[in-house]
Structure formats: C-alpha cells, structure tokens
Chains A and B, each alone.
Chain A
Amino acid sequence: MTPLPSQSDTPLVRVHDLSVRFAGTPPVHAVNNVSFDLAPGEVLGILGESGSGKSVTLKTLLRLLPERKTRITGTIEVDGQDVLSLQGRALADHRGGVASMIFQDPSLALDPVYTIGQQIAETVIRHEGASKTDAMARALEMLELVRIPSARRRLDNYPHEMSGGMRQRAMIALALACRPKLLLADEPTTALDATVQIQILLLLRDLQQELGMGVIFVTHDIGVAVEVSDRLAVMYAGSFVETGSVRDVIRDARHPYSKGLLAANLVGAVPGTRLDAVPGAPPALSALPEGCSFAPRCAHAEAACSASPIPVWTGGDGRWARCVQASRAEAMAGAGGRS
C-alpha cells in the first residue's frame, strides 16, 4: 500500500461536521456530524453495516442526492473547492472531472441502451471537449487500462452483453476516464462473485497506485477494507465512531462496536465476510437515541452513554474513538501513569 502521507500535505478532501437529513415524516438523519480529511493519494475505507449511511456520505460528496428533499449541513471541500456551494456547470465539472464514483451494481449504473464506448467517450467529450475520435481512442485506452480482453471489440458492447466482472471493469474505466483526483467506490465488489471480487479489488489497488488518486472505499466487508485501505473509519447509524490507520484499528480497536466487528470477523479475514456478528439491530435513522447511538446494543453501556455529547478519545496519528469508556480508560491510564 502507499506510504501514509505526511501530515503537512494539504488534504484533498476535507469534510467537517457533515450532516444529511431527508425530509419526511419523520425525517431521516442519514449522516450525523461526520468529519474527516483525506490526503492526496490516500485510501480511506469506510466500514459499516447496511443502512449506516455509507452511500449517502459518498453521494453527498458528488451532490447526487435529490435536492428538494435533502438538507445538507457542514462543509465539504474537495481539491480546494467548496462542494456544497457549487452550481450548474461548475458542479458538473466537479462530478466526473475532480471526483468520480463507482457504483455498487454496474448492471444498474450503466445506461442499458448506449455502448460502453459511447458512455466513456461521452464523459471525455463533456470534460475535455475532445473530438469523437479522440474520445473513442481514450475509451479504448481506458478499457485496456482496466485489462478488459479484446478491448476494441468490447467498445461496441452494450452493458447487458458483458459479464458482471467485465461490467464493473468498464464502470471503473468510465470513472477514471478523466483522471479524477478523487475516486469514490461504493461497495464496488459486493454484487460480484467471490473470485471476481478479488480480481476487481486487485485491479483497483493497482490503479490507485499507478494513478495516485485519493480513494474513499465504502464496504461492509472487513477483509476488503483491510486489503485496500490506508485508514479506516467505522460508521454506525450515520456517524463515524472510530478512525485510525488500518493497523491501529485492527490491532487495538477502542469502540465496542469496532471491537465487536473485529472479534467476529478478523480471524482469517476473507473478502466476502459480512458484518452480522454484533447482536441486535441498529436504531432507526428517523429516531436516533440521545447520546451514543450504539448504547442500546452495547454490552458495556452505562448511564453516561445516553447523554450528549459523548466524549472523544484521541490517540496519535489522527486516531480517535467516540466512546465514554474509551475516553475514561485513557484518562485513568494517564492518571495512573503520572502518580
């Protein structure tokens, strides 16, 4: 994996206190006070179970959510641009130009009545004003880059004429066609067979190293997250509960939710393992409990857990966990050390 970037780099992505709420009765609090930075060339894995708000977080970075029913607060900066204030053509330039996205299910995310070549070329024409011929040449180049066999013939294929793995490769080619600085990958391997999953994962890792873009990789599969990420963020009920380098989080998780996930899944962490080993179910995003939203499921919950705000434990190297116990254990250890 790429070496951890030094702290002095200006971050490629800077998300501060991001909350996303969907209007409705009752409103859905899909993302709650999420903050993180991503350095250029860094890979952040967001780990969380189904419905924890991973996709909504990514879509917010591209402003893909339905404008009328979505309320976004906080700030998002990508490559120095204030994403939440972008409008019209500037927003379109951001999408696919600066940041692009790979979707979970390529058979749904590609237009069924356009060929793969057309779909890639269209993006290149849109962002670079290339001629049709040049754009097609780029499309071919991209298909070769993602190692699609007999790429020239595949240019004229419609999505339904390709296998699942091939389609996801094409999707990746499409996302990378304009050399974005930021790639958002939303469970890009979940819809695929296990063997194909590994190939796509290796491809993504190689491409990330080759092209050096920043990646936010969303998954509910610990094995996958560990395989591709530099840093991990554990997401629960719309909030980040813990972040840190992969090594630190894996070795020494501080939040009971992360601990539970790891204890259940890390032994022989194989891609394909699902996060279902923590007993209970997450709370409804329309009725989040006061304080720590994991408390109702937590074996160590106490009275302090249902009061806001929950104290944050911080370690070195951008590492933190939002948990009453983690912060108290640290305080006691610190006090004990000094006496």
Chain B
Amino acid sequence: MISFILRRILYTVPIMLGVSLVCFALVHISPGDPLVSILPPDASVELQQQMMAIYGFDRSYPEQFLRWLGRAVQGDLGNSIATGRPVASEVFNAVGNTLILAVTATIIGFTLGGLFGFVAGYFRDSWIDKLATAISVIGVSVPHYWLGMVMVIIFSVELRWLPATGAGPGGSSQWIWDWEHMQYLILPAITMSVIPMGIVARTVRALVADILQQEFVSGLRAKGLLDRGVLAHVIKNAAPTALAVMGLQLGYLLGGSILIETVFSWPGTGFLLGQAIFQRDLPLLQGTILVLAMFFVILNLLVDVAQTSLDPRLQRG
C-alpha cells in the first residue's frame, strides 16, 4: 500500500510538468498583445518595449517558460498586469472563496444525490425511483446559470429574502462564518449543488441496482441477514466507485464555475478566470489555470489512493 502511494505520487511529477507546459503554451498561443490592457493606445514603441522587458515577454518562449516555472515552484506567479498585485495572493484568495462555495455545494449535492440514488436503486422501478430519477435528470439537464438567475429573481428580487450577489455585506471579500455572510452563500451553493446531485444520484442508483442483481446478495439473504445487514454490504460495495465519481465532481466544483460565480459575482477562481480572460491579464490567467490544474492532479491522486484503500481487489497489485 505504502509503495503504491509512493509510486502514485511519483507518477504525478511528469503529469504536473506536462500540465504546466500546456498552461504556459495555451496562454501564449492565443493571439493578441499581452500588454494591450495596460498601455495607452498611443504609447510609444520604446515604452512598449520597456514594458515587454519588465514582464519578460521579449525573451524566447523556452526561456520564458523556464523562468516562469522556476518562480512558480517557489510560489511566485508574477504580478497581475491589470492590478499589479501578486498573482499568487489573488489566486489564493479566490481559491479560498471557491472552496467555501464548492464544499458547501458538495455537501448538499452529495448528501441529497447519494440519498436519492440509493433509495432509487434499492426500490428500483417503484414510484420513489421514478421521482428520484426525474429529479436527477432535471438536475443534470437544467442549465445552472439559468437556474441561478431564476433563483435570484425569486428569492432576491421578488421575495427579498436573500442577497443576490457578492460574498458579504458591502462587497467585502473577507469571509466570516456568520449569518451576515452565510446568506450570500445560500443561493450560489444550492445552484451549484444541483449538478453533482444529479450525477451522483444517477451513478449511485446504477451502482446499487447492479450490486443488488449480483448473486452474492442472494448469498447474504440466504445466510439470514436482515435488510439492514444487506444494506451495509451494498454500501461497502458501492463505496469505491461512488467515491471516484464524487471525487471527480468535487474536482469540477473546486475548479469553480465561471458561469455560477459570474451570475452571483462570487469572488472565486471562476470569477477570477473570467476577469483574467476578458482583461487579457496573462500572468493572472496562467497562474489561475496552473493552480486549478494542480488541484485536479492532486485530487485525482487522493481519489486513487482512497479508492484503492477501500477496495481490497485493487490492492496488492
């Protein structure tokens, strides 16, 4: 097991290198002048070249990449062109906000999705199953930015129960776990939880239905287990796969949703990414993408390890 984990960690090194190369390349392949957003339209050629030199855009791509990578490893992602603030701290802040939103949405989505899926799979083809399936299909197919806007219209505009945008009173970006701040979290979190809820429900339903078809369930009943005993076996059998799916979903949520964060002006990574793209803020864009990509790599690693430790058949390989 330990050697598996070590090996698995080693595998991530080339993946991370590749990912950072892709991050760098994607941003530089895209057309357009990186300094267009801060230079006045009538700037002189000298000023332009001076600025190019300051940001290092005048060097060759491989050199730029290595310098960027070298600094990134030390936690320095450069400065935002638009605000001049360090990218690392901007991203760090946004990651914090996205985490708050994503984790809340995850808890809501996985709990409800797991529950719906399990009940639907256990009582397959009953009316409960049909209801749960309908809910999860709606959850997967309704466009979530649309759902977000509908929620804002109902709960903020019409009923005036909850604030529509931002992450705290007066546009504060410093998160505190009190009601003042939490009411800003409710609408985006519910909106965001709908997708993983649908996907988790569908996955768990299929898993549970499949497990119940297997002969060992007959075996469990044949030895006299009561329903709750059988249930424990079903859960343990479903756990590894369910966990893998949940891990991926968590990954998507942690990546932040540009659409949802934009609809609710939630200052997370998705929002930041949107800003970076529209302002052509290259260092910010690179840094945000890199951090998000690393998130995925590490999350995959954790899911693999968790899955392996839960499923005896995957061990000792």
Contacts and interface: CB of A to CB of B under 8 A. Distances in A.
A103 B226 contact: no
Interface of A: 59, 62, 64, 89, 92-97, 100-101, 103, 105, 108-115, 122-123, 126-127, 158, 160, 174-175, 178
Interface in B70-97: none
B237 A95 contact: no
Contact of A174 (B218, B223, B233, B312): B223
Say what secondary structure dominates the interface of chain A: helix
A109 B229 contact: no
B216 A111 contact: yes
Contact of B225 (A113, A115, A126): A126
Nearest to B216: A111
A60 to B, nearest CB: 12
Q: Give the bracket for the number of chain B residues in contact with chain A.
A: 20 to 34
B7 interface: no
B136 to A, nearest CB: 24
Contacts of A64: 218, 221-222
Contacts of A178: 224
A92 B223 CA distance: 8
Contact of A113 (B215, B222, B312): B312
Nearest to B236: A113
A108 B216 contact: yes
B39 to A, nearest CB: 62
B311 interface: yes
Nearest to A59: B218
20 contacts: A64-B218, A95-B221, A96-B222, A96-B223, A100-B222, A101-B222, A103-B215, A108-B214, A108-B215, A109-B219, A110-B219, A111-B216, A112-B237, A113-B236, A113-B312, A122-B225, A126-B225, A127-B224, A158-B313, A178-B224
A100 to B, nearest CB: 6
A110 B312 CA distance: 14
B220 interface: yes
A150 B220 CA distance: 26
Contacts of B214: 108
B229 A103 contact: no
B224 A93 contact: yes
A103 B214 CA distance: 13
Contacts of A96: 222-225
A97 B224 contact: yes
A220 B236 CA distance: 36
Contacts of B223: 95-96, 100, 122-123, 126, 174-175
Contacts of B310: 113
Interface of B: 214-216, 218-226, 229, 233, 236-237, 240, 310-313
Prevailing SS type, chain B contact patch = helix
A113 B224 contact: no
A336 B313 CA distance: 70
A124 to B, nearest CB: 10
Contact of A112 (B216, B218, B224, B225): B216
B224 A94 contact: yes
A111 to B, nearest CB: 5
* Pairs A-B, 7 closest by C-beta atoms: A96-B224, A96-B223, A95-B224, A108-B215, A109-B219, A158-B312, A123-B223
B217 to A, nearest CB: 9
A160 B225 CA distance: 22
A59 B218 CA distance: 9
Contacts of A95: 221-224
Contacts of A126: 223-226, 229
A223 to B, nearest CB: 26
Q: Which of B215, B224, B225, B237 has the most CB of A within 10 A?
A: B224
Contacts of B311: 113
A101 B221 CA distance: 10
Contacts of B229: 122, 126
B209 to A, nearest CB: 13
Of the listed residues B214, B216, B225, B233, the one surrounded by the most CB atoms of chain A closer than 10 A to its CB is B216
B220 A92 contact: no
Contacts of A94: 224
B313 A109 contact: no
B312 A109 contact: no
